[in-house]
């Protein structure tokens, strides 16, 4: 039994309750008052069942260490999909205004509804406040802002001044402005999603699991074990995360282009130099092993810090050397051909290689509906398109590189009689169009495919895209 099959068996009462609640909400809208009373009563019972079975307190039904082990090699997209599927409206994404915006992008890609909250300490950079507004506009969401208690802030500042943390450490200020507001917010949730990565902080986050029962905070039902914590980016390297943000054209905080990597409050954050670790820009006057504010104290490992490889891939987010840039719409010549171009006679592409699977319309239709299979990278092409011709060699190279892995490289001729189908199913506007079908569990409602947004079609760029969406590459592909 796979992960989601096991989850369905374990959570059948709560899952059924949520499904029935959704059905009732959709099917019984206009009704007499008597029916409305029955519906309200039914919904109350449904919510009660879901609240009891979903958290990790009463009648524990989910083995979270086992779930963490099973998800450890999964992509952030699959982990995010699992988290949103398990907890629905009772889970929130913690967004700091930095590169953890990737969490919001992954949530969007699942196609599920999601909530986002942020801590407004009152000491953030102006750029971060502008960035919050930009993210809200980009994703069409409203961030739930959490604020410190005014009386506590007032007492601290009146007693110790505005910058006491430079003298006696940041813990007291962070406790008032960040930890307590977070604790209050988490008491309204059954689970939360964070952007923690193992490579973020020397000696403190090296053992972050992808999912865990939160060891430091309590959730909606109260008591130890009442809150679950997901860390979908735990195994993602900083450089790979930035490749993902560039490839998907995700908006980023303008502070990143000024050398800021890890971003917090304005007085406690500064830019770092190339080669410096990202956390060296936080609380720089304190010991490296103390660079945590308390939000993730349950994950802090007490260990001697080891020299860390530089992960500052974000100092110049829109053009670092060797990085994959996204969206080449401003290139001198658009590297695509509109689907309305008149075809000319040309030998079909990918005919003389077994490194790229040629799919029929029926194969693609099955792929659009498939669940439980590994990833497929698919190019929609026309043999007469000169840009399709130009990328044939590099796409075959990618196929050779991924041969025998858990990612299949495939092609579909989308001109002629198949053009209308491609336009309807993929929104095809130009050739070539490249899409990725990530691995989806049987219960997943995530989008069937993700469109590659860049005009860079070299193997390295495509591989970076596949890795960012599909996760680790290496296992033998298990599809048909």
Looking at 146, 174, 293, 385, which residue is catalytic? 385
Distance CA 67, CA 64 (A): 5
Q: Is residue 429 part of a domain?
A: yes
Cα–Cα distance measured from residue 448 to residue 386, given in angstroms and rounded to the nearest whole number = 28
Q: Does the residue 476 lie in any domain?
A: no
Question: For residue 284, is pLDDT > 60?
Answer: yes
**Residues 153-184: pLDDT tens digits?**
999 999 999 999 988 888 899 999 999 999 99
Round to whole Å and give the CA distance between 345 and 330: 30
Domain of residue 36 covers 3-53
Residues 370, 277 share a domain: no
- For residues 207 and 256, membership in a common domain is answered with yes
The mean-pLDDT minimum among 82-86, 118-122, 270-274, 294-298 falls in 294-298
Residue 114 in any domain: the answer is: yes
Query: Looking at residue 448, which CATH number applies to its domain?
Result: 3.40.30.10
CA pair distance 281, 285, nearest whole angstrom: 10
Among residues 173, 265, 268, 388, the one annotated as catalytic is 388
Q: Are residues 267 and 397 in the same domain?
A: no
* 205 & 278 share domain: yes
Q: Looking at the structure, do residues 71 and 11 belong to the same domain, yes or no?
A: no
Domain shared by 71 and 220, yes or no:
yes
Weakest-pLDDT range from 98-107, 108-117, 300-309, 311-320: 311-320
H/E stretch holding 65 reads: helix 64-71
- Looking at residue 56, the DSSP 8-state letter turns out to be S
CATH number of the domain encompassing residue 140: 3.40.50.620
Residues 6+ apart with CB under 8 A from 238: 99, 197, 199, 200, 261, 278, 311, 312, 313, 314
Write down which residue in 53, 72, 87 finishes a domain: 53
Q: Give residue-wise pLDDT tens across range 6-65.
A: 344 334 433 333 333 332 233 333 334 443 443 343 333 322 222 223 344 344 478 999
From 270, 299, 328, give the residue that closes a domain. Answer: 299
**In this structure, is residue 203 part of a structural domain?**
yes
What's the confidence (pLDDT) of residue 59? 43
Question: In this prediction, what percent of the chain has a pLDDT beyond 70?
Answer: 70
Name the domain boundary from 253, 280, 299.
Answer: 299
Distance of alpha carbon 308 from the chain centroid: 24
Number of domains in the chain: 3
206: pLDDT confidence band, cut at 50, 70 and 90? confident
* Alpha-carbon distances, residue 213 vs 300, 442, 471 (angstroms): 15, 25, 23
Query: 18 and 134 in one domain?
Result: no
CA atoms within 13 A on the CB side of 139: 27
pLDDT at residue 345 greater than cutoff 60: yes
In a domain, 307, yes or no: no
The reply to whether 331 falls in a domain is: no
Whether 385 is catalytic is: yes
CB 210 within 8 A of CB 68: yes
- Across the beta sheet with 407-413, the strand order is 357-358, 407-413, 375-381, 433-437, 450-451
Pairing of strands 116-119, 144-146: parallel
Mean pLDDT value across residues 384-409: 95
Mean pLDDT of 236-261: 91
291-305 average pLDDT score:
50
pLDDT of amino acid 3 = 38
Distance in angstroms (rounded) separating the CA atoms of residues 301 and 208: 9
Tell me the average pLDDT across 316-335.
Answer: 36
pLDDT of residue 471: 81
Give the span between the Cα atoms of 15 and 160, in whole angstroms: 51
- Predicted local confidence at residue 61, as pLDDT: 75
Contact 335, 387 (CB under 8 A): yes
Residues 108 and 195 in one domain: yes
Q: Are residues 284 and 350 in the same domain?
A: no
Question: Do both 254 and 383 map to the same domain?
Answer: no
- Residue 306 located in a structural domain: no
Asked if 417 and 463 sit in the same domain, the reply is: yes
Mean pLDDT, the chain, rounded, equals: 78
In a domain, 320, yes or no: no
Do residues 49 and 82 share a domain? no
How much is the average pLDDT of 192-215? 86
Find out whether 86 and 111 touch, Cβ atoms under 8 Å: no
Q: What is the pLDDT of residue 315?
A: 36
């Amino acid at each position: 039994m796979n992960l989601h099959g096991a989850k369905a068996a374990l959570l059948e009462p709560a899952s059924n309750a949520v499904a029935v609640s959704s059905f009732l909400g959709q099917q019984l809208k206009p009704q007499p008052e008597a029916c409305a009373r029955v519906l309200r009563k039914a919904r109350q019972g449904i919510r009660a069942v879901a609240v009891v079975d979903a958290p990790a307190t009463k009648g524990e039904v989910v083995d979270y260490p086992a779930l963490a082990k099973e998800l450890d090699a999964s992509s952030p997209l699959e982990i995010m999909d699992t988290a949103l599927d398990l907890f629905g409206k009772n889970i929130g994404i913690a967004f700091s205004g930095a590169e953890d915006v990737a969490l919001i992008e992954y949530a969007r890609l699942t196609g599920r509804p999601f909530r986002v909250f942020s801590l407004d300490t009152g000491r953030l950079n102006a750029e971060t406040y502008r960035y919050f507004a930009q993210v809200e506009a980009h994703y069409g969401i409203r961030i739930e802002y959490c604020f410190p208690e005014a009386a506590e802030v007032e007492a601290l500042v009146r007693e110790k001044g505005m910058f006491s943390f430079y003298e006696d450490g940041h813990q007291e200020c962070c406790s008032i402005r960040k930890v307590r507001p977070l604790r209050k917010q988490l008491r309204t949730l059954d689970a939360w999603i964070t952007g923690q990565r193992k490579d973020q902080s020397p000696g403190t986050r090296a053992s972050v699991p992808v999912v865990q029962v939160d060891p430091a905070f309590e959730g909606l039902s109260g008591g130890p074990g009442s809150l679950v914590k997901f860390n979908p980016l735990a195994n993602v390297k900083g450089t790979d995360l930035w490749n993902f943000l560039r490839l998907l054209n995700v908006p980023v905080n303008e502070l990143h282009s000024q050398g800021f990597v890890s971003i917090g409050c304005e007085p406690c954050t500064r830019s770092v130099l190339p080669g410096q670790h990202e956390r060296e820009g936080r609380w720089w006057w304190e010991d490296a092993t103390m660079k945590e504010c308390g939000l993730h104290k349950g994950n802090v490992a007490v260990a001697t810090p080891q020299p860390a490889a530089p992960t500052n891939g974000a100092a110049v987010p829109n053009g670092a050397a060797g990085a994959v840039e996204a969206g080449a719409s401003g290139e001198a010549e658009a590297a695509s051909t509109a689907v309305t171009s008149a075809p000319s006679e040309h030998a079909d592409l990918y005919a003389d290689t077994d490194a790229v699977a040629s799919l029929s319309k029926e194969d693609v239709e099955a792929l659009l509906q498939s669940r439980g299979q590994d990833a497929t990278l698919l190019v929609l092409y026309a043999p007469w398109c000169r840009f399709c011709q130009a990328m044939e060699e590099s796409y075959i190279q990618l196929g050779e590189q991924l041969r025998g892995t858990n990612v299949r490289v495939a092609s579909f001729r989308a001109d002629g009689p198949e053009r209308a189908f491609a336009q309807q199913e993929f929104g095809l506007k130009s050739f070539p169009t490249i899409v990725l079908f990530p691995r989806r569990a049987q219960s997943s409602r995530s989008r069937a495919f993700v469109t590659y947004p860049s005009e860079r079609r070299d193997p390295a760029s495509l591989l970076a895209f596949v890795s960012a969406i599909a996760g680790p590459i290496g296992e033998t592909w298990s599809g048909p």
